[in-house]
């Protein structure tokens, strides 16, 4: 670790784990993300969620008020969860960080009626290759014939309240999923039976429509992060920022900009950065760091508001000259206490690694 600010004993802070959603088309990835955002907002507190560029942050307090007795905030010191807004394994496999996945945890969404499908298998392969911890959301439980919905309820209560016939139909779907996970080499079980989430994959029955099980899913993600990933979440918030480009976008008034998820350190306006480009790494200086404006203020002409700095983990739009040839999936590194050339070499090395992996696909 490089920095030791005079006076402060420890610059390390715990960052928010980054969560990605994967699964077969139409199994409910987008709906589930929408439900998580919507349920968090309807908790009613201001600051229930924060919309970032390309991501949504749900703070621990919101998760714990949604999850009730499933999450006691005293058991956690991680600040919450940051969900990447674009679901799907294409973005998951493109978005890397230091050779691993950008996402720290994944949610694998499987339609409980439809079970494993080709893209579920592909997602499992990628999760396995990147060694990403994951939970399975067995979605659409509300479509089980005869299901008696209980809006927003924890899944165990809702499950216990169903008729025996409904429960056994659901069980069949769940055991098919558990069987398919087992064929893929993962020991899995219903999440309330799992003791060790590192060795056994938790399956959480949910409905992205009624919100049943969503609080359970958040509780499992939070518990998994806290128990098994806490050390990896220690970042030096005064250190040089590092991130991954989600997208390169033309914005009126700014030219080419990059949407970036920052997973380490801090990025400030005016910083020199090195960004992976089509031909060569791009060295440029940040003109503006942009965040979405809160919805209430969106009537002004500009959708974005400028911020001076942004700490990991967060999504941010960077406006800077020369970004036209920047690449989605490429690293972004702040140049602070090292020579530019050293940082350029690092970016080049990471890009080379990405290319090798793409060729293997
Ligand atoms: P994606 O392709 O995985 O992002 O799937 P979507 O979120 O677009 O969902 C596909 C379709 O399934 C849409 O028509 C959703 O409204 C529907 N859907 C998703 N989740 C649920 C659910 O839990 N219950 C029900 N009844 N429908 C769902």
Residues 6+ apart with CB under 8 A from 244: 95, 96, 97, 102, 260, 261, 263, 329, 330, 331, 332
Ligand 1 centre distance from Cα of residue 65 (Å) = 25
CA of 241: how far to CAs of 82, 206, 223, 264, 332, in Å?
17, 36, 27, 5, 8
Tokens representing 31 are: 């709906």
pLDDT band at 46 (very low <50, low <70, confident <90, very high): low
Beta bridge partners of 58: 81
Lowest mean pLDDT among 2-16, 207-221, 325-339: 2-16
233, pLDDT greater than 90: yes
pLDDT band at 8 (very low <50, low <70, confident <90, very high): very low
Sequence-ordered strand ranges (E) for 52-152: 55-59, 80-84, 96-97, 100-101, 105-111, 134-139
Give the predicted TM-score (pTM) of the model.
0.93
Lowest mean pLDDT among 39-53, 258-272, 299-313, 330-344: 39-53
Residue nearest to atom 20 of ligand 1 (CA): 28
Bigger pLDDT: 41 vs 345: 345
Residue pair 119/110 in contact (Cβ under 8 Å)? The answer is no
Residue nearest to atom 2 of ligand 1 (CA): 26
DSSP 12-49: EEEPPPEEEEEESTTSSHHHHHHHHHHHHHHT--TTS-
Asked if residue 208 has its Cβ within 6 Å of ligand 1, the reply is yes
Question: Tell me, what's the pLDDT at 6?
Answer: 44
Ligand 1 centre distance from Cα of residue 148 (Å) = 18
Asked if residue 211 has its Cβ within 6 Å of ligand 1, the reply is no
**Ligand 1 atom nearest residue 23's Cα:** 3
Question: Tell me, what's the pLDDT at 98?
Answer: 85
Residue nearest to atom 14 of ligand 1 (CA): 26
DSSP 8-state secondary structure symbol assigned to residue 185: T
Question: Tell me, what's the pLDDT at 246?
Answer: 95
Lowest mean pLDDT among 95-99, 235-239, 266-270, 280-284: 95-99
pLDDT per residue over 21-39, tens digit each?
999 999 999 999 999 988 7
Question: Tell me, what's the pLDDT at 45?
Answer: 62
pLDDT per residue over 53-99, tens digit each?
999 999 999 999 888 888 898 999 999 999 999 998 888 888 888 87
Question: Tell me, what's the pLDDT at 189?
Answer: 96
Asked if residue 111 has its Cβ within 6 Å of ligand 1, the reply is no
Residues 6+ apart with CB under 8 A from 224: 105, 133, 135, 197, 198, 202
Location of structure tokens 């970036």: 260
Our mutation pick for probing the ligand 1 site, out of 23, 106, 208, counting the most ligand atoms within 8 A of Cβ, is 208
300, pLDDT greater than 80: no
pLDDT per residue over 96-151, tens digit each?
888 789 999 999 999 999 999 999 999 999 999 999 999 999 999 999 999 999 99
Asked if residue 65 has its Cβ within 6 Å of ligand 1, the reply is no
Question: Tell me, what's the pLDDT at 295?
Answer: 65
């Amino acid at each position: 670790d490089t920095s030791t600010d005079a006076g402060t004993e420890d610059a390390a802070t715990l960052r928010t784990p980054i969560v990605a959603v994967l699964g077969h088309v139409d199994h409910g990835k987008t709906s589930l993300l929408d439900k998580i955002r919507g349920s968090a907002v309807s908790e009613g507190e201001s600051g229930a969620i924060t919309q970032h560029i390309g991501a949504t942050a749900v703070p621990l307090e919101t998760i714990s008020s949604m999850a009730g007795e499933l999450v006691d905030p005293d058991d956690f010191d991680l600040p919450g969860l940051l969900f990447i807004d674009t679901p799907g394994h294409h973005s998951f496999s493109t978005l890397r960080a230091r050779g691993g996945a950008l996402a720290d945890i994944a949610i694998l969404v499987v339609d409980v009626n439809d079970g494993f499908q080709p893209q579920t298998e592909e997602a499992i392969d990628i999760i396995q290759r990147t060694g990403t911890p994951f939970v399975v959301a067995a979605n659409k439980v509300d479509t089980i014939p005869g299901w008696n919905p209980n809006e927003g309820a924890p899944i165990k209560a809702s499950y216990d309240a169903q008729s025996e016939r409904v429960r056994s139909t659901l069980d069949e779907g769940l055991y098919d999923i558990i069987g398919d996970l087992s064929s893929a080499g993962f020991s899995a079980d219903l999440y309330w039976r799992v003791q060790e989430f590192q060795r056994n994959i938790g399956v959480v029955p949910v409905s992205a429509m009624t919100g049943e099980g969503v609080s359970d899913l958040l509780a499992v993600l939070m518990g998994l992060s806290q128990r098994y990933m806490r050390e990896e979440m220690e970042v030096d918030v005064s250190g040089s920022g590092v991130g991954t480009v989600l997208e390169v976008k033309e914005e009126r008034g700014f030219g080419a900009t990059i949407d970036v998820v920052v997973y380490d350190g801090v990025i400030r306006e005016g910083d020199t950065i090195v960004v992976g480009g089509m031909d060569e790494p791009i060295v440029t200086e940040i003109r503006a760091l942009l965040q979405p404006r809160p919805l209430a203020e969106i009537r002004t002409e500009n959708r974005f508001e400028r911020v001076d700095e942004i700490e990991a983990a967060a999504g941010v739009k960077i406006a800077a000259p020369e970004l036209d040839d920047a690449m989605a999936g490429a690293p972004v590194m702040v140049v602070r206490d090292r020579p530019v050339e050293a940082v350029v070499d690092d970016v080049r090395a990471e890009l080379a690694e990405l290319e090798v992996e793409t060729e293997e696909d």
